[in-house]
Amino acid sequence: MSDFKRRYFGTDGVRGRVGVYPITPDFVLKLGMAAGKVLSRGQGGRVIIGKDTRLSGYMLEAALESGFSAAGISTVLLGPMPTPAISYLTKAFRADLGVVISASHNPYYDNGIKFFSAEGTKLPDEIEYEIEQELDKEVTLSDPAALGRAYRQDDAPGRYVEFCKSTFSGRLSLEGLKIVLDCANGATYHVAPLVFKELGAQVITIGTAPNGVNINDGVGSTHPEALIAKVLAEKADLGIAFDGDGDRVMMADSTGTLLDGDALLYIIAADRQEQGKLHGGVVGTLMSNLGLELALKERQIDFVRSKVGDRYVMESLLEKGWHLGGENSGHIICLDYVSTGDGIVSALQVLKAALRQGRTLAELTAPLQMLPQELINIRLTAGFDALTDPKVKAEVQAVEAELGAKGRVLLRKSGTEPLIRVMVEGEDRKLVHHYAQRIADVIRKQAEEEQG
């Protein structure tokens, strides 16, 4: 089944550059038809569609709506909404399928389509495979009397705001806290400020003026420097940054120190352990900092690593029967509240821990000693496979031998972009940087030679 994934579906739906196959109106229309036919089995049904703030979202939304309608599926159009909101609202509306038009943290010129099941979870591989098979068949329309309808649901943002607030303790308030919110000019721009204001915080916003092309542009969780600068300038208590579709979060304390997903995961896990609400251990990924694993071990909290990608974190959580997992990118899953990563809900769990314990973010993360980690992203053209290149493999083995038991190396392909990610971790920051650059240089050289 891995072969079909290389055709259209990646680790997070179908994604690519707008106007370049498969992110074209004709393909997306057919994708809607194929998904509708697999979903309905000829019995009709209902799907909800949300999107982030990319200009191309209008075009792709119309194409999807047409495709679903042609398959006899009615659509509920929600407009700009965070990805986790679609997961939640798919269940709340008793819909058969949820669809998000988004390329998450990617630039505005990328876009993608991802699906949620009726339970609010990512579609299993088997269903994605069925949709791929359907795409290869001849296009056939439903009977004219059985075509789907479409309408807009105007109260969706308010429903999601109330849900987010419900995950925060009714006995606690954010009154007296000055919080900077960076919404990445993305899908959280109109809901996140409401959540934190209605819980009592004084909210200062950046990245809340989307224009269709400025999503993730110098703001958001992938550019935390904007958040840090604003926190310091405003003398805020803390800052919270989301990515373009709202499923990732980073935070900064009052000194401007950045807390990534590993740090936030530690805070939530430690607090839940103290309350007896952890429900098993914690799932991280191959990219999770070794410092997180060691800090959790010190607290006698079990920790396992999954492959990189929230769907693999979810698989491990379900397999273990645990409730908490996430990635250092800020994609955190709290299964007792949500069935996918949710930046707003995750931030609220961190704030709940801080208020419950009466401690600052710095104090909460004091036991967590992160090891120096260097990550280099190298953009590659098609045809070169760094993971199998003999010289690249030899360089990785040489670095691993020099690091010994005091570090590790990880090479992996991005599931959402044409990138190879080089990660080196160890005790000495200068050596870690040196080793990462060494491997990256070999990859670039081999890629150039491959291209002639």
Q: What is the pLDDT of residue 452?
A: 64
104 in active site: yes
Is pLDDT above 80 for 41? no
Give mean pLDDT, residues 411-431.
Answer: 89
pLDDT of residue 5: 45
Q: Domain ends where: 154, 182, 208?
A: 154
Nearest to 420 by CA among 445, 395, 443, 452: 443
Q: What is the CATH number of the domain that holds 336?
A: 3.40.120.10
Percentage of the chain exceeding pLDDT 70? 98
Same domain? For 208 and 328 the reply is yes
Question: What mean pLDDT comes out for the span 298-324?
Answer: 95
Query: Pairing between strand 303-306 and 324-326?
Result: unpaired
> Sorting pLDDT into bands at 50, 70 and 90, what band is 268?
very high
Residue pLDDT, tens place only, 156-192: 999 999 999 999 988 899 999 999 999 999 999 999 9
Residue 343 in this model has a pLDDT that exceeds 60: yes
Model pLDDT, residue 42: 67
pLDDT at 2 over 70: no
262, 289 contact by CB (below 8 A): yes
Average the pLDDT over 95-111 and give the result. Answer: 96
Regarding whether 255 and 377 lie in a shared domain, the answer is: no
Nearest to 332 by CA among 249, 242, 243: 249
Specify whether 67 is located in the same domain as 25. Answer: yes
Nearest to 110 by CA among 14, 4, 249, 222: 14
Domain co-membership, 141 together with 165: no
Question: What's the confidence (pLDDT) of residue 345?
Answer: 98
- Structure tokens of 200? 């009592």
Structure tokens at 432: 């870690």
Pair (280, 386) in one structural domain: no
In the numeric block, which tokens belong to residue 413?
Answer: 């392909």
Q: For residue range 360-372, what is the model confidence (pLDDT) as tens digits?
A: 999 999 999 999 9
| 208 and 347 fall within a common domain | yes
The pTM (predicted TM-score) of the whole model is: 0.91
Residues 257 and 200 in one domain: yes
Model confidence at 108: pLDDT above 60: yes
Indicate if 215 and 230 belong to the same structural domain. yes
Count of the separate structural domains present in the chain: 3
Q: Where does a domain end: 154, 171, 193?
A: 154
Residue 241 reports pLDDT greater than 90: yes
For residue 276, pLDDT over 50 is answered with yes
CATH number, residue 394: 3.30.310.50
Across 215-335, the runs of DSSP E, i.e. the strands, are 238-242, 249-253, 258-259, 282-285, 303-306, 324-326, 332-334
Shared-domain flag, residues 309 and 419? no
422, 394: one domain: yes
CA-nearest of 51, 50, 53 to 210 is 53
Q: For position 3, what pLDDT does the model report?
A: 45
**Residues recorded for the chain:** 452
φ and ψ at residue 210, rounded to 5 degrees:
-65, 140
Residue 436 has pLDDT above 60, yes or no: yes
Shared-domain flag, residues 296 and 320:
yes
The Cα–Cα gap between 193 and 426 comes to 39
Question: Of residues 40, 56, 102, 104, which has the active-site annotation?
Answer: 104
CB 238 within 8 A of CB 211: no
HSE-up of 6 (CA within 13 Å, CB side)?
A: 5
Where in 183-281 does DSSP place strands (E)?
Answer: 202-206, 238-242, 249-253, 258-259
Q: Is residue 241 within 8 Å of residue 250, measured between CB atoms? A: yes
Query: Which of 100, 128, 154 delimits the end of a domain?
Result: 154
pLDDT band at 410 (very low <50, low <70, confident <90, very high): very high
Instruction: Supply the pLDDT for residue 131.
Output: 94
| Enclosing domain of residue 199 | 159-364
Are 140 and 183 part of one and the same domain? no
